[in-house]
């Protein structure tokens, strides 16, 4: 049996075939965050009235996963991430326990040998992430196999290009750029910048803040995220200073993406195989869904003198689930190859 799980800094997503109908693939997603509330009668009653599940931790109530967004009105304190700066937190015991609970909830029960293809959040402590996440998967009955997020996007969206091209995944804490040929990754790079950097800079520069009852002040990142995905906001047609700031911040990230594509195309690993072949670019991740993303990236590719190497540039369908769907495809392809070789 094959399943897939994508441990993202924004959300953790899983995919597997339904036991009742093998043609149907089930997709599940949980937010990778938690909110801590005071353990008071008022808060307990509010959670009960709204049918919100929670855990207790010392003198606090902990609401995590998708439910964390449901209690924003109960606390002005921002939700805490399960992955700190793109890495599994070493000292945050509640976060580590919540990761275990969510992994168990997102993976189906297995009573035979099962393989779970997974990707981690792509932080700087990649070895620590791999060790912890693979152990979680193994604890819940699956054999973990680490996959490539960049190659997964090509497998999930590149059939019309014979699974050959460039993938760009703009995540919360990092951005992954990869080049593949016939479904085999030739080159990749992870940039330690993503949409969270954009959101923090925008909130800081425009003083978008919220205050907790204690008087502590926080950047209102949720307000930033709600605003930038409003249909009226567009990276290439800014109507006010906040929109111009958003465009400048995106241009910084997109410039680094274009530079990485140029350097990878010129590397021996890629050039010796593709020999100047023109390629399509598939973009994924929630940050790619903002209006004007493709024209903005096109401008940066022209600026770095590599637009002539590109045939098409697009945001893939279901950009936020593309990685986990590609991991599922990779797993089933490897299982089919092993079966035929047996």
Q: What CATH number does domain 154-315 carry, 3.30.420.40, 3.20.20.60, 3.30.70.3170, 3.20.20.70?
A: 3.30.420.40
User: What is the mean pLDDT of the segment spanning 126-139?
Assistant: 87
pLDDT digits 0-9 by tens, 163-197:
999 999 999 999 999 999 999 999 999 999 999 99
Could you tell me the pTM of the whole model?
0.91
Percent of the chain whose pLDDT exceeds 70: 98
Q: What is the enclosing helix (H) or strand (E) of 190?
A: strand 184-191
Report the number of secondary-structure helices (H) and strands (E) in the chain.
Answer: 10, 16
For residue 66, give the DSSP letter: G
**Contact present, 167 and 150 (Cβ < 8 Å):** yes
Helices 241-265 and 293-303 cross at an angle (nearest 10°) of 50
Record the tokens describing residue 220, joined without a space.
């209102």
Specify the CATH number of the domain 1-30+88-146.
3.30.420
The percent of the chain in helix, strand and coil, each rounded to the nearest 5, is 45, 25, 30
Cα separation of 316 and 319, whole Å?
5
Cα separation of 59 and 243, whole Å?
42
Q: Which residue has the tokens 């190659």?
A: 151
Would you tell me how many other CB atoms lie within 10 Å of the CB of residue 302? 13
Record the tokens describing residue 166, joined without a space.
């460039």
* β-pair partners for 61: 37, 56
User: What is the mean pLDDT of the segment spanning 134-151?
Assistant: 93
């Amino acid at each position: 049996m094959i399943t897939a799980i994508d441990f993202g800094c924004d959300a953790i997503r899983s995919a597997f075939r339904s036991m009742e109908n093998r043609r149907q693939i089930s997709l599940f997603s949980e937010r990778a965050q938690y909110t801590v509330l005071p353990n008071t009668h008022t808060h307990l009653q509010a959670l009960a009235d709204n049918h919100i599940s929670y855990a207790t931790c010392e003198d606090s109530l902990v609401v995590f996963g998708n439910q964390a967004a449901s209690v924003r009105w109960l606390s002005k304190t921002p939700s805490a991430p399960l992955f700190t700066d793109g890495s599994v937190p070493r000292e945050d015991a509640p976060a580590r326990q919540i990761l275990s609970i969510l992994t168990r909830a997102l993976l189906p029960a297995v009573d035979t040998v099962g393989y779970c293809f997974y990707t981690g959040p792509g932080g700087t402590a990649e070895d620590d992430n791999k060790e912890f996440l693979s152990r979680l998967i193994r604890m819940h009955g699956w054999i973990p196999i680490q996959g490539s997020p960049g190659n997964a996007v090509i497998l999930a969206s590149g059939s019309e290009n014979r699974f050959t091209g460039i993938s760009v995944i703009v995540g919360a804490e990092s951005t992954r750029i990869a080049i593949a040929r016939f479904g085999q990754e030739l080159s990749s790079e992870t940039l330690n910048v993503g949409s969270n950097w954009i959101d923090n800079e925008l909130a800081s520069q425009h003083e978008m803040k919220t205050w907790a009852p204690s008087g502590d002040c926080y950047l209102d990142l949720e307000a930033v995220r709600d605003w930038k995905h409003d249909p009226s906001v567009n990276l290439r047609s800014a109507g006010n200073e906040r929109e111009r700031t958003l465009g400048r911040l995106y241009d910084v990230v997109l410039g680094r993406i274009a530079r990485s594509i140029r350097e990878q195309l010129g590397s021996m690993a890629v050039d010796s195989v593709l020999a100047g072949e023109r390629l399509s670019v598939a973009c994924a991740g929630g940050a790619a869904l903002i209006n004007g993303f493709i024209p903005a990236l096109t401008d940066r590719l022209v600026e770095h003198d590599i637009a002539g190497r590109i045939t098409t540039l697009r945001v893939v369908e279901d950009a936020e689930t593309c990685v986990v769907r590609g991991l599922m495809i990779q797993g089933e392809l490897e299982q089919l190859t092993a079966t035929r070789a047996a």
